[in-house]
Amino acid sequence: MDVRDLRTSFAAFAPVDGAEWELPCREFLDACELIKKLMGSLGRCMSFALSDIAAKLEQIDEYITSAGEACPSSLLKIVEKEVSLNVHDAGKKNPSITRTLLRLMWFLDFVAAFLSKLGENTSASVTFVAREAYNEKLAPNHPWIVRKAASASMALCPSRDSLMKSISLNGTTPSEEQCEILISTGNEMKKTLDKLWAYYTSNEITKLK
C-alpha cells in the first residue's frame, strides 16, 4: 500500500467553510480499509487488532447496506439518530454504530500517533514506536491481559526499512521526505479524529461500555 493514499483519504474529510462537518460513510470505510492494509504491513504483530477492526467495519457496512436509501450519508447522522432514539448505549452484545465508531476512534488514535512518532523519531525501531503509541493511545482502554499480549506481539514488528518498502516509502535511510509524509499523514488523521472526539464529548458519549 502507499501511505500517501491514506493521507489523501483523510485530507478529504476536512470541513468545508460555512458547511456542517460530516463524515461520509462509504469514504470513511474506504479510508479504514487503507488502515487495515497499513497494519497488515506490520505483519503478525497486528493480528491481535486486525480481526477486531475488520469485524467493526463489517458491522458498519452491513448497517449501511441494509438501510439502503434510508441510510444517512454521514456517520455522524447515524450516531445522532441512535442517540435520539436512546439506542446508542446497547452494550457489547448488541453494539450500536455509536459504540463501534468510538472503538474505531481509539484504534485510529493509535495509528495516527504511530505514524507521527515514526516520522519524528527516526532512530527508534518500529517495535519501540508501536509500543509507545499503544501505551499512549490504546492501553488506557484495555485490561491488563490485553495490554500484556499487545506488548509481546509488538516484538514481532518488522524493521523500519522493511516497513518503509511495504508502504511505498523506499529507502534505507530515513529521509526528510519520508518523515514529512509520515508526520503529515498522522496529522491529517488527527484533524478528523479531533472533530469526532469533539462531537462525542459534546454529546457525552465517550464512555460507552
pLDDT value for 173: 66
Residue 76 to residue 83: CA distance in whole angstroms:
10
Nearest to 49 by CA among 160, 132, 147: 147
3-state secondary structure 15-26: CCCCCCCCCEHH
pLDDT reading at 55 higher than 70: yes
Nearest to 76 by CA among 208, 209, 207, 205: 205
Q: What nine digits make up the cell of 125? A: 525501531
pLDDT-based confidence at residue 203 (cuts at 50, 70, 90): very high
pLDDT averaged over every residue in the chain = 92
What number of residues does the chain have?
209
pLDDT value for 171: 65
- This prediction has a pTM of 0.94
Nearest to 138 by CA among 92, 115, 105: 105
pLDDT reading at 196 higher than 70: yes
Domain range list for the chain: 3-9+22-202
pLDDT reading at 19 higher than 80: no
Report pLDDT digits (tens) over 114-134: 999 999 999 999 999 999 999
Q: What nine digits make up the cell of 148? A: 500484556
Q: Does domain 3-9+22-202 have CATH number 1.20.1740.10?
A: no
pLDDT reading at 58 higher than 90: yes
Which has more pLDDT, 15 or 198? 198
Report pLDDT digits (tens) over 139-183: 999 899 999 998 899 999 999 999 999 999 876 567 888 999 999
pLDDT value for 29: 96
pLDDT reading at 108 higher than 90: yes
pLDDT-based confidence at residue 44 (cuts at 50, 70, 90): confident
Q: What percent of the chain has pLDDT over 70?
A: 98
Residue 52 to residue 12: CA distance in whole angstroms:
26
